[in-house]
Amino acid sequence: MTARNKQRGISLLGLLFWAVIIGGGAVVLLRVVPTVMEYYTIQKAVDKIAKDSPPTVPAARDSFARTKAIEYSIVSIEPKDLVITKSDDKVKISFAYDKEVPLFGPVFLVIKYKGESH
Tens-place pLDDT, residues 63-105 = 999 999 999 999 999 999 999 998 888 899 999 999 999 988 9
- pLDDT at position 8 is 81
Q: Inform me whether the pLDDT recorded for 6 exceeds 80.
A: no
Selection from 96, 88, 91 nearest residue 58 by Cα: 91
Domain borders along the chain are 12-116
Main-chain dihedrals φ then ψ at residue 91, nearest 5 degrees: -85, 130
pLDDT score at 86: 87
Rounded-to-integer distance, Cα 118 and Cα 114, Å: 13
State the Cα–Cα distance between residues 52 and 48, nearest whole angstrom.
6
pLDDT at 49 over 60: yes
DSSP state of 97: E
Distance CA 1, CA 69 (A): 72
CB 42 within 8 Å of CB 9: no
Mean pLDDT, rounded, for 22-33: 95
